[in-house]
């Protein structure tokens, strides 16, 4: 198939390599003409995937019209806070057709509108099929052809299975899921929890603390997801707990690396600058914090991370606050059905 990838960050570049290897005709749109020239000359994208050679068959271009004029599938790999403006640019040029399939691989919630990427797409392009591709997937490992499992989520079974077929090969296994909202909330909020895991590491806390954070984190992710119409089963799967584990435990995770620096005493700005790439969780925490208030939800990890990042709360004080909250039953939904527990 003819497939265009929008943006050549680490994940966009890695996916373009997968799609090319799977036999598809791949173009990659890059905002910077200088970056296009560098990639074409060196056959590498050193900033995002250092040391990885890129096939000459993949075409890189900064021309929007040239990028998608023949495309059947458009894969958006721009940071979530840039998705709406980037999509609107292509729409304004009349380049998006109803027979396109839009696939999004970024993980976040728009800070201004509080919309997920699927909600933005539905509002702007209600007739265009949409797929969310997510799961535990570091681009660095995919580029090295290490075994990876993903989730293709769409309201259209045909579209979910199309992307499953397009991407699957002997080192990438793709599962389908109709719960787009659950997959998107999982991908967005796991970045917040990964920031917390990094802060915990930066403070010098151990595996016990991280295990607790991951476990209570998936509960918090599910709390918001269910309030927004998601299915609980999604949070138990690859897009939920799977992606959360990999992001909280790996140094490939820019969110975790950013958190480590914050835990060591650096400011948010210093930490993001040091990571050198977009740290989605730093922005999504604002949206998640506002959504928790909108839906009147108890999301203490999100709340404390928001205070650390944007209200200059001391990280150790935030951890102490979490540890000394009112004692409660682990499973809130069961706490009112304990008549027989003596």
Catalytic residue among 190, 219, 286, 328: 190
Q: Is 236 one of the catalytic residues?
A: no
Angle between helix axes 280-294 and 300-310 (nearest 10 degrees) is: 130
Q: Which residues contact 55 (CB under 8 A, 6 or more apart)?
A: 17, 20, 21, 43
DSSP SS3 for 100: coil
| Nearest to 214, CA basis, from 233, 193, 200, 192 | 193
DSSP summary character for residue 268: H
Q: Please compute, for residue 212, the number of CA atoms within 13 A of its CA located in the half-sphere on the CB side.
A: 12
Helix H or strand E encompassing 191: helix 180-202
| Nearest to 130, CA basis, from 190, 181, 57, 70 | 181
Angle between helix axes 157-167 and 10-21 (nearest 10 degrees) is: 80
Q: What residues act catalytically?
A: 190
């Amino acid at each position: 198939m003819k497939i265009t990838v929008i943006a050549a960050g680490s994940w966009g570049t890695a996916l373009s390599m997968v799609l090319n290897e799977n036999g598809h005709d791949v173009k990659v749109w890059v905002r910077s003409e200088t970056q296009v020239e560098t990639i074409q000359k060196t056959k590498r994208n050193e900033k995002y995937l250092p040391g990885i050679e890129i096939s000459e068959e993949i075409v890189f271009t900064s021309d929007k019209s040239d990028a998608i004029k023949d495309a059947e599938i458009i894969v958006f790999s721009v940071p979530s806070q840039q998705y709406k403006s980037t999509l609107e640019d292509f729409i304004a040029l009349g380049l998006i057709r109803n027979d396109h399939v839009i696939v999004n691989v970024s993980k976040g919630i728009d800070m201004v509108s509080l919309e997920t990427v699927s909600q933005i797409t539905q509002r702007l392009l209600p007739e265009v099929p949409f797929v969310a591709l997510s799961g535990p997937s570091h681009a660095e490992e995919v580029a090295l052809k290490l075994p990876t499992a993903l989730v293709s989520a769409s309201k259209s079974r045909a579209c979910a299975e199309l992307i499953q077929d397009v991407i699957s090969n002997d080192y990438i296994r793709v599962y389908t899921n109709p719960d787009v909202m659950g997959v998107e909330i999982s991908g967005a909020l796991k970045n917040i929890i990964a920031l917390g895991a990094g802060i915990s590491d930066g403070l010098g806390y151990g595996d016990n603390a991280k295990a607790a954070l991951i476990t209570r984190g998936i509960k918090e992710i599910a709390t918001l997801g269910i309030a927004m119409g998601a299915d609980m089963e999604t949070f138990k799967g690859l897009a939920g707990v799977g992606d959360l584990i990999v992001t909280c435990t790996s140094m490939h995770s820019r969110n975790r690396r950013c958190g480590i620096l914050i835990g060591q005493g650096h400011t948010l700005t210093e930490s993001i600058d040091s990571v050198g790439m977009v740290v989605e969780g730093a922005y999504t925490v604002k949206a998640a914090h506002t959504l928790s208030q909108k839906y009147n939800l108890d999301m203490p990890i999100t709340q404390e991370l928001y205070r650390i990042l944007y209200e200059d709360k001391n990280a150790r004080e935030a951890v102490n606050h979490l540890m000394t909250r009112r004692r409660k039953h682990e499973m809130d939904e069961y706490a009112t059905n304990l008549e027989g527990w003596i």
